[in-house]
Each structure stands twice: as C-alpha cells, then as structure tokens.
Structure 1
C-alpha cells in the first residue's frame, strides 16, 4: 500500500471517498478523465471514479503475502462498505467439524417471524482473504432487504488450509444449518446458498455436492461474479486483467495459494463448471460484472445451467467491476446492483415456498 493509504486513518480516507462522490458531475468527470470503453461496454462513471481514487491513493489489494492481502482487503472494504446497516441483530454460532469448529454469524432482521427462509452466505476473497467482518454490512443488507435470516460462514483459508479445506467446511455448515433449523428459527426446506467470487464458487460446489449426497438440497443459488473454472483462461481475463481491481496476477496468486497442485484445477469441487451433470442444481441468479476477469466463466456457467434445464437468470452489470457488492456505502449503481440480487432472492424463495404448497399427486 502507498504512503498516502498507510498514513491516513481509514475513517479519513472513507470520508474523502464520500466527498468525491458528492462533488458535482463536471468535477467528477475532471477527476476520472475520458470514458473507458472496452469490448463495447462503457465503464460506469461511478466505477471509473472509484478506480481512479484508488489509483490516486495507491490503495490496492496487495498480493505479496496472505497477511498483507488480508489487511488490504479489510482496508478496502472499510472505505466503501458504508455505515452499519441498522435493524439487524447478530449472534455468533460455532459449527462443529472434525478437529475443530467453524465460526459463523447469524443475521436476524428485528421482528422477523420464526420459520423464515435462510440464506447461507460464503464470503469472497480468493479463498485466501475475507472473514465474517469483511462482508458484515453486505450480510446485514441481504437479511434486511430480503426479509430472511442469514448465516455467514467463516471457513478456513489458504494457504494455511489449502483446497479442499474450504469445500469441506462449507458443506459441513450447510448440513449443520439443516439439522439445526429450529435453533436458527428457519424453515429447513427454504434454505438458499449464496456468495460472491470465491464464495460463489463454494456455494455452487456445495449445492452440487448436496445433490450428489442424496440429502437435503438448497432451494436457490445467489451467485455474485463467481469463480467457477480454474482450468481455462478466457477472453475476459485478457481484456480486464489489469486496472479493474481484480487483476490477472492476483488470480494466479489466489489459485496458487488455494490449489497449488495443478491436477486439482479440473476437480469439480474447484472448477464446478466442469461437472458432468449440473441438472440437480436449484434455480439460480448469477450476476457478472462487465469489467471483471471472471465475467466469461460466470456466463459460461449460466449457459451450462440453462442447457441442463436449471432455471437461471443471468445478469451482466456491464459498467461495473469485480467486487461491486461490497461497495454499498457509495449507493447509486452499486446499491442498485445488490438490490436487484435481493429481489431475485426474494422471488426465488417465494417460488420455492409455492412449490412446497402444491399438493403432491399420486
């Protein structure tokens, strides 16, 4: 991180970002410069401004060591996540696993009736960074706006715990939530899985493994710019691999820490896009960002889901970049994108509830 990003308190930097976004449009355009158009898409002015401010401050998502990467992500999120979303109570949970526990956090909108739906949310961060705090405000927003309880899962991170430790943890968390639905005050037949980036990967993998195991399965998937194929380099990675937050070098760095053995790159527990049969997955909402190296693999996954007969809604936010879901504090296009995902989640859960109410025929 630069001297400027290091020398000022996070609160001061966050205030400066909010100040910049409050400037008149002509002034903001002077800061951002000429419009950026790539692959027939124009980077949204608010996205371009944020990236420009990041460049000016020198604040980056470092990939030198895991510890520095985690610190950089914490700082980056603090700049843009905004004030704490009110009206949501939280409590910690401890999910037993072989040899230890998985920390979790339950989000419950104040006054929400029991037996609500549950969204289990797996955070992003390249399987190396992120925790319960990095996505706290996003989970609060999802819980409040969707009218559901949310269980955030603090799965083990690489390189201390490489693949498939995270995969095992999130599966354990799903099975635990089903078994403890009454304690969580949720309906065990209305559990959705969701996540952003690496968390989206883990959500899709968990849904597939649950179906393969023949036990309870999630009723909906909420995937935000998921990583779904570690084996293939697609065009969007060449187009957007530098200058749009998530970089080409960072993608290799994350994969190298999480899955250092090349043979694991084609394992469906990592590259879920390569699974032979995706027809058992539940209805899915999948959002991609136009200026994201992960864009093309996410859209290829949505296409394969559709070909397998899975109801899927694919939404490309053309003017945004990877990580937009955590930029709630700046409102505007960022909050609109997350709100759209919330609407899809509400609809998906309502349809799941309607399916439950249909009498079974002999």
Structure 2
C-alpha cells in the first residue's frame, strides 16, 4: 500500500498540533464560520477569471438559493459557453460559495468553462431531502435560464465533492426518472453513495484521517430524520434500482478515505448498467484534499484530472 504523501502527513501533523475542535464540538454554525475562514488558508492560490457574478437560482419549494457564476472570458449569445454546475462538499452541514471560491476559480480558468457554484440549504436547519431537491431544482433552473447568461444548455456538466458528489449523482438519477436531459458528464469527487457505512474502507479509515466516523455520524444525524431515509437514492445513490441511462461519470477517490469504497462501488454499479464510468484513485491523500492545493501537490493533479475530464466532453 502506498504510504501517506509526505505533504499530506505534514499537514495532518500541523492540524493535530493546532488542536482545533472537531465539528461536532463546535456545532453547525461555528463549524461553517471556521471552514469559511480557515479553508482558504491551505487552498490553492486561485487563478484569475474574467468576471464573477453573484446571482440567485431557484431551489426546492420556491426557495431562492445564493449562487456564483465564474466566467473564463467574455461570453456572447452567439457563442454560448459550456458550464459546470458545482455542488460543494461538507456533509450537508458546512461549506459555502466562499469556502470553494478558490477551487471554482481554478476550474473555470483551467477548463475554460463557466462555473455555477450553488449554495444549497444546509442541515440541521434544512433536513433531508432539502439539499438533494435544491440541487435538482438548480439543474432545472440552469436548463431554463442558461441562455440568459450566455451559457450553452446543451453543454452542462454537473460536479461536486463529498456530499456535493452525492448531490451530483442524485441529480442525474432524478433527471433521468423525470424524463429530463442528462448533462454531458458527472464529476464525482470522493462521493458518498452508501447509506450505512457498510464498506471496508469506512472501517479501515474511520479514525486518524480527519473525516472520522464520529464526524460522519454527526453530519448524517444533522441531515437525516430516520434510518429509513438512508435507503433513499437521493441520499445513497448506490441504492437506486437502475443506473442505466445516466451521464458518463468521472469518479475520483482518495486512498486514505472512509468513502473510498463508495466511489469504487458506484463506478462498478454504473458500468454494470451500461453507464460509462472512469475511476481514478489518488494515492497517499485523504478526504477533502481537493481544497488543500496550497500545501498538497496532489490537489493540483486532481484539479488537472477534473479539467481533462471536462475538456473531453465539451
């Protein structure tokens, strides 16, 4: 087994010595503020973009969701641009447009695509299935309003990391079941796809790698109201009856991640049902390394992998 990446090991050591409280100890509100303040410190230095717009998109049941558009260059209605609809991670409880600003700017500039980053509603204030339905509603909104912003509704990619990967997979499943058009591709970065932590990776990496079992339990406890909801594919996309007729998937997993097998199993299920799925494992790193580009070189490899996956379909 490849060892922990040296930069990754150094960061884990620094975080351990800092003795920052865990999310359950801080609670949801303070955890959100902590992430928004501290994640940019270790994230990649963002590349410049042509323009950024803060807008609102339609959420579930009439909600208005904060969203941010990043443009790589001037757009025009005569030459509409492809767009990545992005859902951030954070266990359905933390994360925001602000904490993912650097990642979105980087993907926009490197891939030459517009990025629409959506702030779906968070738990525990918004329980299941709110986040999933907000994500699906945002996709519906984008299909209807892309032209208003010079975007190409026929060149949409949906992506997200962790809980955002779950929301991406669920959105594709809901779109298929509703008879809607699929995106060109779905980018799933260490997504959660199982409902009960039944994998060997979940046990093997349950402690020592930042995303621990107590933190996962806290996230899920915030979002879910019952164990029955763990069987719903909007929370656990692996449990959908069929995975046929979905957008091709590019799935990235981290080696030292309790969710690593979630990505592996989802790739297998997609392929079994005839949906193309590429699985890429990044060795030596932990869950969340997408946002560690300021200190972890492998984060840049992930960014480049995502960019290449997008450029192949647009």
Q: TM-score, normalised by structure 1?
A: 0.82
1:81 corresponds to 2:46: no
Alignment of 1:8-47 (within 5 A): 40-47=1-8
Q: Secondary structure at the match of 2:177?
A: helix
1:68 corresponds to 2:30: yes
CA distance in structure 2 between the aligned counterparts of 1:232 and 1:129, rounded to whole angstroms:
20
Alignment of 1:115-264 (within 5 A): 115-264=80-229
Alignment partner, residue 91 of structure 1: 53
CA distance in structure 1 between the aligned counterparts of 2:255 and 2:285, rounded to whole angstroms:
6
**Structure 2 alignment gaps of length 5 or more:** none
Q: Secondary structure at the match of 1:70?
A: helix
CA distance in structure 2 between the aligned counterparts of 1:100 and 1:74, rounded to whole angstroms:
23
Alignment partner, residue 286 of structure 2: 321
Alignment partner, residue 105 of structure 1: 68
Residues 183 and 141 (structure 1), Cα distance of their counterparts in 2 relative to 1, 3 Å cut: same
| Contact 1:289 1:320 (C-alpha < 8 Å) held by counterparts | yes
- Quote how far apart the aligned CAs of 1:346 are: 1.1
| Contact 1:123 1:135 (C-alpha < 8 Å) held by counterparts | yes
Alignment partner, residue 15 of structure 1: none
Residues 233 and 153 (structure 1), Cα distance of their counterparts in 2 relative to 1, 3 Å cut: same
The answer to which structure, 1 or 2, has the higher relative contact order (CA under 8 A, 6+ apart) is 2
- Quote how far apart the aligned CAs of 1:60 are: 5.1
| Contact 1:54 1:60 (C-alpha < 8 Å) held by counterparts | no
Q: Secondary structure at the match of 2:23?
A: coil
Q: Secondary structure at the match of 1:161?
A: coil
Alignment partner, residue 263 of structure 2: 298
CA distance in structure 1 between the aligned counterparts of 2:197 and 2:95, rounded to whole angstroms:
25
| Contact 2:256 2:285 (C-alpha < 8 Å) held by counterparts | yes
Query: Alpha carbon RMSD of aligned pairs, Å?
Result: 1.5
Deviation per CA, 1:120-150, whole angstroms, max 9, x where unpaired?
0000000000111011110111111111111
Q: TM-score, normalised by structure 2?
A: 0.95
Aligned length in residues? 310
Alignment partner, residue 9 of structure 1: none
CA distance in structure 2 between the aligned counterparts of 1:122 and 1:161, rounded to whole angstroms:
16
Alignment of 1:325-344 (within 5 A): 325-330=290-295, 332-344=297-309
2:16 to 55, 61, 65: 55
**Structure 1 alignment gaps of length 5 or more:** 1-39, 351-362
Deviation per CA, 1:282-323, whole angstroms, max 9, x where unpaired?
111000000000001111111111111111110011211000
Deviation per CA, 1:159-191, whole angstroms, max 9, x where unpaired?
000000111111111011010111121111111
CA distance in structure 1 between the aligned counterparts of 2:63 and 2:229, rounded to whole angstroms:
25
Q: Which moved more, 1:79-88 or 1:332-341?
A: 79-88
- Quote how far apart the aligned CAs of 1:61 are: 4.5
Deviation per CA, 1:7-57, whole angstroms, max 9, x where unpaired?
xxxxxxxxxxxxxxxxxxxxxxxxxxxxxxxxx231111111111111111
